[in-house]
Amino acid sequence: MIITVKDDLDLKKIAESGQCFRWTEETEGAYRIIAGGHVLRIREIGQADNRKQDAESMCYGQDSETHVFDLNCSKDEFLNFWEEYLDLKTDYSKIRNMVKKSEDPYLYNAVQLGKGIRILRQELFETLITFIISQRKNIPAIRASVEKLCKAAGTKKDGCYLFPEPAQLAALSEDEIAACGTGYRTKYIMKVAREIATGEVSLEAMSDLSDEDLLAELKKLYGVGVKVASCTALFAYHRMDFFPEDVWIKRVLENHYSGSFPKEKYAPWNGVMQQYLFFGQISEK
């Protein structure tokens, strides 16, 4: 099907933004996305093709810049999953317009560079485990570990391996998990997967908590500190005011904000600002 987005949706920038680890560029500009038990292939095709603007087409946003995408899924699958996953109902142009060049030139430049990034609505368990894996790893290493874990325990679909369900991951031995390159994180993954698989912990039940209580509950999980909990809150629970701080963000704060970001100014969208700042940093490498 075809979707038209008159707003932010840059596949390459999202894939490199550090929030997701199962976006693969198969050919230039064309991505395979594995998420929530689904496999999608999506590519930007540029200007609208009038021959394809039929009842299956969808349009989002009011911005002047138009992006047209071809997706290999049905309209039902798109509406039931991918529309929400890509957060297409949020107007990111309004969020970007909160940042004034005269007031914060550094963030303004980061926003211009990162235009096209959206905060994905990702699956709770997968996000938690992948960010546990992410500790002290770079993005390519995280992706490699996640793929090995999927092949070790995930269900095969459309030639790919889905992320394991809690019970599938909990059934692996310590050696099997460690063979996926998880290192010292192996024991964290094992314990968390088993607690969720047995029902001792319910990630879904945490959805009703306040931001403060959600962070506190996530931090109770073995091996989960404030950074992993904040990333899970932002990228899975879609709590858009969370502002995860890793080495990249801390560097920005030290160099440009005297150690503290003015969160009160950009609430409730600090998580979006964090993504712009993060993308700006990794783009400068």
Report pTM. Answer: 0.93
- The tokens 């050919």 sit on which residue? 27
Question: Per-residue pLDDT for 47 more than 70?
Answer: no
Least confident of 29-33, 43-47, 205-209, 219-223: 43-47
Work out the number of other CB atoms within 10 angstroms of the CB of residue 70. Answer: 15
Domains of the chain: 2-94 (3.30.310.260), 124-235 (1.10.340.30)
How do strand 67-71 and strand 23-27 relate by DSSP bridges?
A: unpaired
Check residue 63 and give its pLDDT: 78
pLDDT tens, position by position, 3-42 = 999 999 999 999 999 999 999 999 999 999 999 999 999 9
Task: Extract the tokens encoding 35.
Answer: 């998420």
C-alpha span between 231 and 219 (Å, rounded): 12
Please compute, for residue 274, the number of CA atoms within 13 A of its CA located in the half-sphere on the CB side: 28
Task: Extract the tokens encoding 136.
Answer: 């002290």
Helices (H), the chain: 11-15, 75-77, 83-85, 92-96, 105-114, 124-133, 139-153, 166-170, 174-178, 186-197, 211-219, 226-235, 247-256, 263-266, 270-283
Of the chain, the percentage scoring pLDDT greater than 90 comes to 89
Angle, vertex CA 21, rays to CA 18 and CA 27, nearest 5:
105
Arithmetic mean of pLDDT over the chain: 94
